Amino acid sequence: MKKYLVIGNPVEHSLSPKLHNYWIKENKIDAVYNKKQLNEIDIQKIISEVKNGEIDGINVTVPFKKTVIPFLNELTSVAKKTKSVNTIYKKMDKVIGDNTDVGGFESALQNINYNVKGKIAFILGAGGVAPSIILALKKMGASKIILSNRTKQKAEDLKKIYPELDLVNWGDVPEFDIIINATSLGLKENDTIKLDYSVIGPNKFFYDVIYNPSKTKFLLKGKELGNQIENGKTMFAYQAQLAFKIWHNIEPKIDEKVLKLLEND
């Protein structure tokens, strides 16, 4: 039986096992997908288990998407560019790090026919997921990408990878077409993002990488102002679909039933 798992800290609330095990069963694959909470010191050992065949694939979540990199033999070009790995597998005796968050975000926007070409994007956050969102927006042809993060140094570090980024102070609201909450603010019920919503009109697009709750205060505010809104549920489903395809060479279905699995957990 093949073995897969998601590593992170915390990892208790990850929905990856639920989704992957559903697809494993649906596609009659002899495999199991678990979750494992780790500390940084355990990373090297778990990756060596991919090398020696004890584990067939790993998904990586907060806070290890960057930490795993030195222990891998090779990175795909997307993982290299974003310095972020969320999917690990073995190929020709080498342990490879890939990043399916980029493709997940791209597919999520394509799925709702949102065309990024020529648009000004404003990203809130400079954590683990931010470089993937930036690369996806670049690939989709955004005309300008503006970024704001509470801790300015982290935004400046991202600008070293993406020099074309425009940085603004936390709380400032520039002109934009699409605003993306790529922070973890909104996961808790009382979380609010300190933004001057009064300068934001209607007819823009509010995207939140968070999908549980399905409507964060950020999305509710966007909607109240007359904007299109979307949460990160399909992004999550698509990044998992891409990882599944890498490991099993099967493209699992994303349908209403699958999306329902990702609700209220």
Q: Which is nearer to ligand NDP, 97 or 128 (CB)?
A: 128
Q: Which string of x and - marks every residue 126-165 that binds ligand NDP (by CB under 6 A)?
A: xxxxx------------------xxx--x-----------
By CB under 6 A, the residues from 217 to 236 that bind ligand NDP are 232, 235-236
Q: Which amino acid would we find at residue 200?
A: I
Site string for ligand NDP, 59-88 (x = CB under 6 A): ---x--------------------------
Contact characters 82-121, ligand NDP, x per CB under 6 A: -------------------x--x-----------------
If one asks whether residue 262 binds ligand NDP (CB under 6 A), the answer comes out as no
Residue from 49, 57, 63 nearest 17 by CA: 57
Which tokens hold the place of 22?
Answer: 């559903």
Tell me the Ramachandran region of residue 182: left when phi exceeds 0, alpha when psi lies from -120 to 50, beta otherwise. alpha
What is the spatial distance between Cα 264 and Cα 260, in angstroms, rounded to a whole number?
Answer: 9
Q: Which of 67, 76, 184, 228 binds ligand NDP (CB under 6 A)?
A: 184
Q: Which is nearer to ligand NDP, 2 or 139 (CB)?
A: 139
Whether 65 sits among the annotated catalytic residues: the reply is yes
CB 238 within 8 A of CB 211: no
- C-alpha distances (whole Å) from 135 to each of 69, 70, 100, 121 are 18, 21, 12, 12
Residue nearest to ligand NDP (CB): 127
How do beta strands 87-91 and 74-75 pair?
unpaired
- What phi and psi, each to the nearest 5 degrees, are found at residue 143? -80, -25
Q: Give the residue numbers annotated as catalytic, written as ranges.
A: 65
